[in-house]
Amino acid sequence: MKVKIVCYEDVDKWILGKFAKKLNETLIKLNVHSEIGKKVDPVADINHHIIYYDFNGEKSTIDTLMITHIDSNAKLELVKRQLKIAKLGICMSRDTMNKLSIMGVPRNKLCFVNPAHDFEIKPKQIVIGITSKVQESGCKRETMLLDLVQKVDPRLFEFRIMGKGWDHIVSTLKNLGFTVQYYNDFDYGEYVKLIPSLDYYLYLGEDEGSMGFIDALAAGVKTIVTPQGYHLDAQGGITYQFNNINELIQIFKSISIEKTNLIQSVSSWNWHNYTKKHLEIWKYLLEKEKEHKKSFFVSEFKDGINSLQEFDLTVVNQTNHLSRIKLKIKLMIGTIKTKYYSSEKLKSIRKIVSSVKIFLF
């Protein structure tokens, strides 16, 4: 297969160029003959246009269009005209694909592939803060922390501890792989910087309450504390409450699941999969062109080829007239904004309105 990625912007300048470069690089790694340019290749099997907007409507071989940000009637009508020539519009989301279908773009000319990211950005650890001094009586219940860290993932949590007596526990946490920032004495200057840096303030003791709890709330920091003393008097101040180690472990598991779910939601949105989805689509189109009939491709992905093969009229038939009207109004507003927002006439009107408001109020 020979692929020409037609990118109409400078590939080194902004996001569309990045899509073109990453797609091209990965195609080459997958042993596909691919190159980038600003013009179509009449002998390429596939000419993929990034993006649709500058596609002039001249048919080459098999043309596919990257489609995104349809926010005006003009853009909608342009896509409708273009897809009379191009074989397929590849949207960035199911939502856009469905909306275009509702607005009259043939559904069998649409599919979607979710965008990819570089995986250079690493997850931020959840910062847990403790600001208390260990007491000989054990009233701070500091050993509970040792039981807790046996049950949570050190990749997800960082501890920031201020106060005397935590040395042994800090050493154990570090040996278990946790990131720990430790101040073995109280330093007010560091303390006022520490509190706002936390995601959660943790207090293990049951002895009336922690002043750090108050400061954490003043900084807008969520809290994981025992429900006693003046903790109870701060209305809405306790984010998570616990009395024993099992309850505390469940709290941290809940927080871990929330974080992990966010990470996992785009864990497969990488450039390899993004490219593979496009390849499956292009192979399908080539096979269909050659055999003049529908072929069926099995894919591991929910988007890509599956979003094309699942085509039926369900979305269009189940959409009522009111939904179409709402979408038309939204596009009409987008058209007005695009056409008139920066016009000198509107600028003058805005100045007059502003002057009236100042005069009246």
Is the separation of the CB atoms in 91 and 295 below 8 Å?
no
Distance, in Å, from the CA atom of 238 to the CA atom of 231, rounded to the nearest integer, reads: 7
Peptide bond into 352 cis (omega under 30): no
Contacts of 160 (CB under 8 A, 6+ apart): 127, 128, 129, 130, 180, 181, 182, 194, 197, 198
Is this prediction's pTM over 0.75? yes
Say how many Å lie between the first and final Cα of the chain, rounded: 68
* pLDDT of res. 139: 74
Report, at the CATH architecture level, how domain 126-264 is classified: 3-Layer(aba) Sandwich (3.40)
* pLDDT of res. 322: 63
* Domain range annotation of the chain: 2-117+269-319, 126-264
Q: Tell the CATH superfamily of the 2-117+269-319 domain.
A: Glycogen Phosphorylase B; (3.40.50.2000)
C-alpha radius of gyration, the chain, whole number: 29
User: What CA–CA distances, in Å, run from 166 to 72, 170, 205?
Assistant: 61, 6, 14
Q: How far is CA 119 from the centre of its chain?
A: 12
Q: Across the strands, what pairs with 48?
A: 5, 64
* Phi/psi at 58 (5° precision): -85, 125
Contacts of 107 (CB under 8 A, 6+ apart): 101, 311, 312, 313, 315, 316
CA geometry: angle 181, 255, 151, nearest 5 deg: 70
Across the chain, which has 361 residues, the per-10-residue mean pLDDT values are 95 92 97 96 96 92 95 92 96 94 92 95 95 83 94 96 95 97 95 98 91 97 96 96 97 97 96 97 90 73 89 51 66 62 56 49 42
* pLDDT of res. 135: 81
Q: Across the strands, what pairs with 110?
A: 89
Helix (H) or strand (E) holding 350: helix 344-360
Is there a shared CATH topology between the 2-117+269-319 domain and the 126-264 domain? yes
* pLDDT of res. 297: 77
* pLDDT of res. 221: 98
Is the separation of the CB atoms in 205 and 139 below 8 Å?
yes
* Phi/psi at 190 (5° precision): -75, -35
